[in-house]
Homo-oligomer: A and B are copies of this chain.
Amino acid sequence: MQKIENDLFIRACKKQEIERTPIWMMRQAGRYLPEYRAVRKKSDFITMCKTPELAAEVTIQPVDLVGVDAAILFSDILVIPDAMGMNLEMHEGRGPVFPKPIRNEADANELKDIDPMTDLKYVMDSIKVTKEQLNNRVPLIGFAGSPWTLLTYMVEGSGSKNFAEVKKLIYNNPALAHKILDKLADTVAAYLSSKIESGVNAVQIFDTWGGNLSQDAFAEFSLNYIEKIVSKIKRTEEPVIVFAKGVHHSLDKIANCGADVVGLDWTMDLAKVRKQIGNKVALQGNLDPTILLSDKANIEKEAAKVLASYGKGSGHIFNLGHGILPNVPPANAKSLIDFVKVESKKYH
């Protein structure tokens, strides 16, 4: 790995001694930044994902504008099913849509085997352009959705309130669900390996919908496949982060899945979780994202609580408990970051 100027994030992932807590924010390359919206105005979301220069531009924006300690490559978890032949569409106000969701064996058989290096070449190109322009100022994170979260979108066909279709699939035809999940696990592992080969310095697996499963179902239909991915990723020193939202019940298991870092949503007690699994993994999180809609004084008060809750020593990456909201004033995001950079020194 080339020497990165500010490598606090990487060192925190490895629980090495650091001088202050690093911070980045999920969805930090996003709509809350006017500079992002200016790019988005000229080009739709999917084109931005598929055009390396645009992806690189918005990826780097938060590094320059709010001062995060890591960049995360602008992309979408659904580029994988898109490359497998599902034709991702983005509908304004409705979000991602797959025109032909997967509902049976025949649909599943149409999913193409892909080689991420060629079939998702635009992602690898985006990494190269971003790395060049980032010039090793901060590490670059690459991400993917967990197989369960991908399956949810692929079966529902769009955002869902009750997850009725994908739940019907796992209860009525678990064999088919496992077949698709296994294929997705292999694909995600290859995809993240390719991202690392192309230059990212860490990877994060998002299991956005794991919290909709019961504990048994989470173990069987989600965690199993996250474990498979983590074991198969080709990496040397690049950390792996697993963030499963709402999965309060399975943190021990997640900490044992081979990941270096476990991400936490804002309902978790950082101090308690550190006692529980902090000897095995670093922890990332977990400020309630809505606090950034408040004012500087409140943001600082709540951020101080998060830092104090983790306490002294390395192994904490400050983040929100979920993605930054589109209506957050950029100045508030900057307040948070400035504050964490100073306040966290006392814990190191």
Interface residues of A (CB under 8 A from B): 162-164, 167-168, 171-172, 211, 213-217, 246, 248-249, 266-269, 288-291, 293-295, 298, 302, 305, 321, 325, 327
Do A267 and B215 touch across chains, with their CB atoms under 8 A apart? yes
Q: How far is the CA of A170 from the CA of B8 in the complex (A)?
A: 34
Q: A162-B290, A246-B246 are in contact. Are A172 and B325 (CB under 8 A)?
A: no
Q: How far is the CA of A77 from the CA of B167 in the complex (A)?
A: 28
Smallest beta-carbon distance A275→chain B, Å: 14
The 8 closest A-B pairs by CB, nearest first: A167-B290, A171-B294, A248-B248, A171-B298, A168-B293, A214-B266, A214-B288, A172-B294
Q: List 5 A-B contacts (CB under 8 A).
A: A162-B325, A163-B290, A164-B290, A168-B293, A248-B248
Q: Which of A269, A290, A321: most chain B Cβ within 10 A?
A: A290
Q: For the complex, would chain A's binding face be called helix, strand, loop or mixed by DSSP majority?
A: helix
Other contacts beyond A167-B291, A249-B269: 18, CB < 8 A: A162-B289, A162-B325, A163-B290, A167-B288, A167-B290, A167-B293, A168-B293, A171-B290, A171-B295, A172-B298, A211-B267, A214-B288, A216-B305, A246-B246, A246-B267, A248-B249, A248-B267, A249-B268
Copies per complex of this chain: 2
Smallest beta-carbon distance A318→chain B, Å: 15
Q: Which B residues are in CB contact (< 8 Å) with A325?
A: 162, 164
Q: Which B residues are in CB contact (< 8 Å) with A268?
A: 249
Q: A248-B248, A249-B248, A269-B249 are in contact. Are A168 and B214 (CB under 8 A)?
A: no
Q: A248-B249, A290-B162 are in contact. Are A214 and B267 (CB under 8 A)?
A: yes
Do B171 and A291 touch across chains, with their CB atoms under 8 A apart? yes
Q: A214-B288, A248-B249 are in contact. Are A164 and B293 (CB under 8 A)?
A: yes
Q: Which B residues are in CB contact (< 8 Å) with A167?
A: 288, 290-291, 293-294
Q: How far is the CA of A167 from the CA of B163 in the complex (A)?
A: 26
Smallest beta-carbon distance A260→chain B, Å: 25
Q: Which B residues are in CB contact (< 8 Å) with A249?
A: 248, 267-269
Smallest beta-carbon distance A251→chain B, Å: 11
Q: Which B residues are in CB contact (< 8 Å) with A327?
A: 164
Q: Which B residues are in CB contact (< 8 Å) with A294?
A: 167-168, 171-172
